[in-house]
Structure formats: C-alpha cells, structure tokens
Structure 1
Amino acid sequence: MNTPTEIIRSFYDKLASGDARGALGLMAPDIEWITMWHYQVNGRGPERVAEDLFKPLMAEWSSFAFVPTEFITEGDTVVSLGEFTGVHAMTGKKADARYAHVWTVGDGKIARFRQYIDTRAVAEARRS
C-alpha cells in the first residue's frame, strides 16, 4: 500500500511526465479542489479538475511545472512546498511562484487539495 506522501509524489511525477490521465486517476471520485488563483474548480471530481484547471492551465501557459522541494506529512495530510515555473503563452513572460499545497488522502486516493501560491508572480507574467 502506498503512503499518503508516495501518492502525492506520484501525482507530481505524473504531471511532470505529461500523464494528466494518470494524475487524475489518483483522485477520489468526489475530490474537493480549492485554488488561490484565477483557476477555480466548480464542483467536485476529477472531471471538474480536468475541465476547470488542467485544460485552461495548458491553454494559457506554453510550458509550466510544479516542482515540490519539501514534503511534510501528518497522518493523511501532506503539505508540499515548491515552485511553480511557467512561460505565459500570450506574453512570453516567465513566472516563478513559490507555493504550498495541502493534500488530504483517504482510502488510497487524493480526497482534497488546497493551494496557496504567490499570485503576484503569476499575475506579473500574465500582464502584457
């Protein structure tokens, strides 16, 4: 059985390798996804995350990565600290934004996600 930290590491690994379907497969059917920037997931479930987050994120950024640098785990809660880097497709500007992601894992699936990110760094890259 995978630990909560292993499940979250696997999520980031799948995203980094372009395996969005595999990342979505790690989510509980009723996952709650909360972000602190302009991508808002309306409703619950992997399909909502794909439609309201993954698709717009891939359309807006010509390249991007979420690179975790530290994991802090307490029970089923995993906090990952890291950096979002990306090149905005319209402006060509690069974003370097530190983040904290708070994950809750239940029954071997990601049940909840909360994001805290340097929204100013992201907004600067989006600004023409």
Structure 2
Amino acid sequence: MLAPCRVYNELTMNKQIQILYFFIITCILSCSNENKQLTANINMYSNTWDEVLNNGKLDLINDEHFDTNVTLLMSPENIVGIENVKDFYANYLNGFSDIEFSIVDIFGQGDKMVKHWHFKGKHTGEFFGIPATGKSVDIDGVTLIGMKNDKIALEQDFMDNMDFMQQLGILSNPDNVVVINTLYNAFAAGDIPSVLKLLDANVVWNEAEGNIYAKGNPYLGPDAVLNVVFTPIGKDYDYFNLENIELHEMYENQVLASLRYKGKLKKNGAHIDAQVAHLWTLKNNKIIGFQQYVDTKQLADANKK
C-alpha cells in the first residue's frame, strides 16, 4: 500500500504536468493566432498601398482599411483622419506619373509593423503646391506602422527629404560648391588633368558668344574642352589667372561664379582685366554644363593691339 505522502506527491506532480501541457498548448495556439493575424495584416496592408499608389485607387483609403482616426505622424503637425490622409496622398497621385511603388520588405510583431519601401515617379503635376518640374525621383524609405482592429491606424515615414527635394530640383546638392571650388583651385595650380576629371563625359561647354574660343560652341566632352579652350589659352597667354572668385549656390544643382580674368597676351603684350561670370550645372558631383559670360569686347580689343 502506497504511503499517503507518496500518493499526494504523485497526484501533485501529475497536476503540475497537466498545467504545463496546458500552458504550452495555450502558448502555441496563441502564437499561431498571432502569426495568422500578422500575416493577414501584412497582406491587407501591402495590397492596399499597391492598389492606391500603383493603380491610383485613392478611394481604398476608407474605413474598411483604415481606422477612423488614422494618424500620419509628421512635423510640424500630424495628419489625422481618413479624409485628411486621402487628401495627403492625392498630392502624390496628382503630382507624379509613371509611379512605381514597391515594398522591399515588411515584418512585424503583434499590431506593430515596419516596411522598407521604394518609390519612383516623374513630377508632371502640382505636388503640395510645387509646380511640375519634369524631374524623375527614385527614393527609398522606411515606415513604422501601427494596426488597430485589423486596420491601419498609424504611420510614420522616414526618408531623406533633402535628397528627395534635390531630385525634384528644388534644392541643390551642397557638395556642388565644393566641386566647383576644387576645380578653380586645380586650375590655379595648373593641374588641368584634375580639372578635366571633374567634367562629366558628356559635359556641354559654352564659351561666351563673341569670344574667340566660342567658334565651335557647344563643345562636348572633356577632350573638346581641353583641345579647343584650355590648350589655346595656354598658347596665347603668358599668364591667365582667375581672381576674386565668389561662388553662389543656385537651385537645380547650379553654381554661379563671379570672378575676373587677368592675363597677358604673348603676341602683343596686351593685358586683360575682365569681369566674368560662370554658370555651372552639376549632377552626381560631376559638371554636366558650363556657360561663360564675359566682357568679350575687352578681350577682342586686346587681341587687335
């Protein structure tokens, strides 16, 4: 006959095992349900934004897919409510054509999700009051997402807004001035190879109309600039200096330089001291365009002496 204590211990142990089994099964079922819900949320979310942005179905921003108080976290003021969110994204659909929106990756836990997205489009319409620029944009970003009762309740986007504005041509790349300053320093040191390296392979170069070096305008590519502008200047002048250079950052990735040419012609010893402006256009830290403005009468008169 089993001792009472032993019987009690065995019963207690069996009870504990049953509780443990119940706990494990509950956790498995709970995790399974959570995973199913997360999968459903991801599918609904992904399909909704695919239809809205790629197919222009703005009316899918409704109370079937979005919480009544859906909120876009923004600075300086959040956007709250389905109609306001719809108005916000209407700017993208009206402002861009050839839209390609894709979710690169999306994952989450519970009611919280994170997506990595990619957006491409051409700015052909008004975008938050900005007139069409005709520029194409190609931008990546990340969004933090909050779900509530199987609906989209919260979004917060993170993206490089400066890069976005630069691609639109609204802001210029701050490195542009550095590139042009580097070019003038290389020119001053007589380092023409370094100057040419800063020119895009398809650079379009225009000397001022009336300048003796402008006969073949526009010159295309670094070799043409070297052969028709830089080399002749080296042959024609005892010295040719760029002085009093001031750089001014412009919009659409342009830099305006105001300066003076000071030089001495070899053939007659005539001196020049001319007021000049250079307009540089850049893309991806390379010079794609140049336009010279100069007192061409002074240059012509010096060549006649």
TM-score by length of 1: 0.93
Deviation at 1:69, TM superposition (A): 2.8
Give the one of 12, 16, 20 matched to 2:192: 20
Q: Which has the higher strand share?
A: 1
Among candidates 245, 255, 264, match of residue 78 of structure 1: 255
Aligned length: 128
Aligned partner of 1:97 among 258, 261, 274: 274
Whether 1:11 aligns to 2:183 is yes
Match of 1:60 among 233, 236, 250: 236
Matching residue of 1:39: 213
Corresponding residue of 2:285: 108
Q: Structure 1 segments of 4 or more deviating over 6 A?
A: none
Amino acid aligned to 2:230 = F
Does 1 or 2 have the higher relative contact order (CA < 8 Å, sep 6+)? 1
Mapped contact 1:87–1:125 kept (Cα < 8 A): no
Which has more radius of gyration? 2
Q: Distance in 2 between matches of 1:115 and 1:68?
A: 16
Cα offsets for 1:56-104 (capped at 9, x unmatched): 1111111001224321112310000000011001010110010010000
Q: Contact 1:86–1:95 at 8 Å: present in 2 too?
A: yes
Residues 1:81 and 1:105: Cα distance change in structure 2 (over 3 Å): same
Q: Which residue of 1 aligns with 2:146?
A: none
Structure 2: gaps of 5 or more residues:
1-172
Higher helix share: 2
Aligned in 2, Cα 1:65/1:114: closer, same or farther, shift over 3 Å?
A: same
Normalising by the residue count of structure 2, what TM-score does the alignment of the two structures yield?
A: 0.40
Q: Per the alignment, in what secondary structure is the counterpart of residue 225 of structure 2?
A: helix
Percentage identity across paired residues of the two chains: 27
Distance 2:176 2:220 in 1: 20
